[in-house]
A and B are shown apart, each in its own frame.
Chain A
């Protein structure tokens, strides 16, 4: 019930609205600026003389004849063959998500239904693994991978990302399965199902909301990874994030920075679409661990 007292504008309220407004500006402005600027030439995007050049595209008009140019995108996608990296990323992300969800649902279900002490220890170990910087593990991979000649290939990276993803997936699905009443699968087992049949016919049909939420975060981990993909992939197998980083090393030439800007905007676009469609699931996933305490 909203009383008059609550709807009145108090100084405290004004300050807190101002804070929210400021935050939203800080959160959104860099993306809008970079997106807008990616259709300009370098002289406009990095315009020291007058920042409004970037808005109206003064130099862009001089150099190309129009206020907008797709030169950065053309350079990145076609000249630098960014599309190849996009395909690689697609393969890595797709298989990482599918495999980690398969492993994770089986393991998370087992952990949620087992009251044994070793289940607890497994979860604790997973927590420690989850906290380790990924680069510490990468230094352990390199020598063996060189020895076995599996360095640089996409499948190697996929299985490594699956493993690095497991601790998080396990925790999330474990707490999700705890919320599915035990009675459901246990009554199926009383009716004569084996444990796996009960899982297959009773749990699988109701687990999709949790699996989708977890899948979104597995996607983000695989898509956003830099430490593993930069160290474990050969140049022709690079995914988009290390590719953007290697752009920077080679693009000190005038104009080529815009290739990197275009690539950065292209890499952000899928995330934007993801948030647009799955905002509710992402928010519920972020707080899933928190609500359980």
Chain B
């Protein structure tokens, strides 16, 4: 294909991506360098019969004018990145100096908003991803052994939790585990504690979100592995059987190695999706105990009346850097494959 033709074919999609993905990243970066204007304060002295009193008032007109002239706010350099709500170098340094044990240091860092969200996001990703991989493979092998008539319906049922809108799916689960819902009430009955609420403690909230995450993403790994199982060469399986391998051994030494390329694909997809965990926190109203990186950006932008664009921008940039770090191994591997194919 000629460069010219290629250019015309790619133009619509490329311009959409440049205008609405690449440029916004630049805009996010620029925003993160600014902070919103301070309100313009006017100090006026009012003198009455009991002496003079100084009062401070917000000059709304001047503040509005300032905002109009420079909507981005005032230049702050990288200040937003290192303040308390983000990387918090000063606070982390303080905590390192003032605490004696690692546990105490950890507690203090955990209280900083950015690190708190980062820790939750990473924990969520690190627990959900392997769980979904293992359970997905187990269920795929199970369904593969089902009679033919039941395979279709079981795939149909499995697709529901995956395709349902994340916000809606987590709401459905939330209503069930709520104190008055069917699962929540049963749990209270089992533990004989009428005040037990899954929202009450950090550990329970995290567990609830992780259970949702597994429920929501399990079908993806299950169906991908199930499709992979259809391509396992039957010759190899039979050969292994003749050599005396048990069913379990055949699964571990023939089927699993055959599925390995799929495992890396599924892992990549799961990492990308789990890292952006956001909707369940809104649905479960779990923000008191669990905040993800996406959620704190959303919260900054929602700040009524005065959205914190600078703060949201800085968190967004840090999140994007996190995504790139997460993807680096994949990018390097694809680059090597591409070069091998090209030469």
Query: Which of the listed residues A120, A226, A260 has the most CB atoms from chain B within 10 Å of its own CB?
Result: A226
User: Which stretch, B40-48, B52-60, B275-283, touches the partner chain A?
Assistant: B275-283
Known: A163-B20, A226-B279, A268-B168. A133 touches B323 (CB 8 A): yes
Whether A275 and B173, one on each chain, are in contact in the complex, defined by CB atoms closer than 8 angstroms, is no
Whether A267 and B165, one on each chain, are in contact in the complex, defined by CB atoms closer than 8 angstroms, is yes
Whether B157 and A223, one on each chain, are in contact in the complex, defined by CB atoms closer than 8 angstroms, is no
A211 contacts chain B at the CB level, 8 A cutoff: no
Whether B172 and A264, one on each chain, are in contact in the complex, defined by CB atoms closer than 8 angstroms, is yes
Whether B182 and A33, one on each chain, are in contact in the complex, defined by CB atoms closer than 8 angstroms, is yes
A47 contacts chain B at the CB level, 8 A cutoff: yes
Whether A268 and B164, one on each chain, are in contact in the complex, defined by CB atoms closer than 8 angstroms, is yes
Which of B17, B157, B161, B247 interacts with A12 by CB under 8 Å?
B247
Question: B131 CB to closest chain A CB, in angstroms?
Answer: 13
B304 contacts chain A at the CB level, 8 A cutoff: no
A77 contacts chain B at the CB level, 8 A cutoff: no
Whether B185 and A48, one on each chain, are in contact in the complex, defined by CB atoms closer than 8 angstroms, is yes
B65 contacts chain A at the CB level, 8 A cutoff: no
Known: A23-B158, A274-B163. A34 touches B294 (CB 8 A): no
Whether B327 and A127, one on each chain, are in contact in the complex, defined by CB atoms closer than 8 angstroms, is yes
Which of A16, A241, A267 interacts with B145 by CB under 8 Å?
A16
Known: A20-B139, A30-B173, A224-B166. A140 touches B25 (CB 8 A): yes
Instruction: Name the B residues within 8 Å of A163 (CB-CB).
Output: 16-17, 19-21
Instruction: Give the complex CA separation of A10 and B145 in angstroms.
Output: 12
B143 contacts chain A at the CB level, 8 A cutoff: yes
Which residues of A (125-154) have their CB < 8 Å from a CB of B?
125-144, 146-147
- Which chain A residue has the least Cβ–Cβ distance from B296? A135
User: Which stretch, A57-65, A68-76, A80-88, A284-292, touches the partner chain B?
Assistant: A284-292
Per-residue contact bits, chain B 244-267, to A (CB 8 Å; 1 contact, 0 not): 000110000000000001100110
Instruction: Name the B residues within 8 Å of A111 (CB-CB).
Output: 10
Chain A's interface: helix, strand, loop or mixed, by majority?
helix
Instruction: Name the A residues within 8 Å of B283 (CB-CB).
Output: 245
Whether A227 and B294, one on each chain, are in contact in the complex, defined by CB atoms closer than 8 angstroms, is yes
Whether B1 and A110, one on each chain, are in contact in the complex, defined by CB atoms closer than 8 angstroms, is yes
- Which chain B residue has the least Cβ–Cβ distance from A25? B157
Whether B313 and A166, one on each chain, are in contact in the complex, defined by CB atoms closer than 8 angstroms, is no
Whether B13 and A128, one on each chain, are in contact in the complex, defined by CB atoms closer than 8 angstroms, is no
Whether B309 and A142, one on each chain, are in contact in the complex, defined by CB atoms closer than 8 angstroms, is yes
Instruction: Name the B residues within 8 Å of A115 (CB-CB).
Output: 342
Whether A27 and B215, one on each chain, are in contact in the complex, defined by CB atoms closer than 8 angstroms, is yes
Instruction: Name the B residues within 8 Å of A136 (CB-CB).
Output: 25, 28, 294, 297, 316, 319-320
User: How many residues of B sit at the interface, in one of the four size bands?
Assistant: 35 or more
Instruction: Give the complex CA separation of A17 and B147 in angstroms.
Output: 11
A159 contacts chain B at the CB level, 8 A cutoff: yes
Instruction: Give the complex CA separation of A109 and B51 in angstroms.
Output: 81
Whether A282 and B28, one on each chain, are in contact in the complex, defined by CB atoms closer than 8 angstroms, is no
B24 contacts chain A at the CB level, 8 A cutoff: yes
Instruction: Name the A residues within 8 Å of B309 (CB-CB).
Output: 139, 142-143
Question: A85 CB to closest chain B CB, in angstroms?
Answer: 13
Whether B265 and A289, one on each chain, are in contact in the complex, defined by CB atoms closer than 8 angstroms, is yes
Whether B165 and A223, one on each chain, are in contact in the complex, defined by CB atoms closer than 8 angstroms, is yes
Per-residue contact bits, chain B 160-202, to A (CB 8 Å; 1 contact, 0 not): 1101111110011101101111100110000000000000000
Whether B13 and A170, one on each chain, are in contact in the complex, defined by CB atoms closer than 8 angstroms, is yes
Instruction: Name the B residues within 8 Å of A90 (CB-CB).
Output: none
Known: A144-B27, A147-B71. A195 touches B218 (CB 8 A): no
A184 contacts chain B at the CB level, 8 A cutoff: no
Whether B297 and A12, one on each chain, are in contact in the complex, defined by CB atoms closer than 8 angstroms, is no
B79 contacts chain A at the CB level, 8 A cutoff: no
Instruction: Name the A residues within 8 Å of B1 (CB-CB).
Output: 110, 113-114, 195
B223 contacts chain A at the CB level, 8 A cutoff: yes
Instruction: Name the A residues within 8 Å of B180 (CB-CB).
Output: 46-48
Instruction: Name the B residues within 8 Å of A10 (CB-CB).
Output: 247
Question: A32 CB to closest chain B CB, in angstroms?
Answer: 10
Whether A244 and B167, one on each chain, are in contact in the complex, defined by CB atoms closer than 8 angstroms, is yes
B83 contacts chain A at the CB level, 8 A cutoff: no
Instruction: Give the complex CA separation of A26 and B177 in angstroms.
Output: 13
Could you list 10 examples of A-B contacts with CB < 8 Å?
Answer: A45-B175, A110-B5, A111-B10, A128-B323, A139-B312, A227-B298, A244-B167, A245-B167, A264-B168, A267-B168
Given A20-B143, A139-B28, 6 other A-B contacts at CB below 8 A?
A34-B176, A127-B334, A162-B20, A268-B165, A268-B168, A286-B227
Please list the 3 inter-chain residue pairs (A to B) with the smallest Cβ-Cβ separation, ordered nearest first. Answer: A140-B24, A163-B20, A107-B13
**Chain B: residues with CB nearer than 8 A to chain A?**
1-3, 5-6, 8-10, 12-14, 16-17, 19-21, 23-28, 31, 71-72, 135, 138-139, 141-143, 145-146, 152, 154-161, 163-168, 171-173, 175-176, 178-182, 185-186, 215, 218-220, 222-224, 227-228, 247-248, 261-262, 265-266, 269, 272, 275-276, 278-279, 282-283, 293-294, 297-298, 300-301, 307, 309, 312-313, 316, 319-320, 323-324, 326-327, 330-331, 334-335, 338, 342
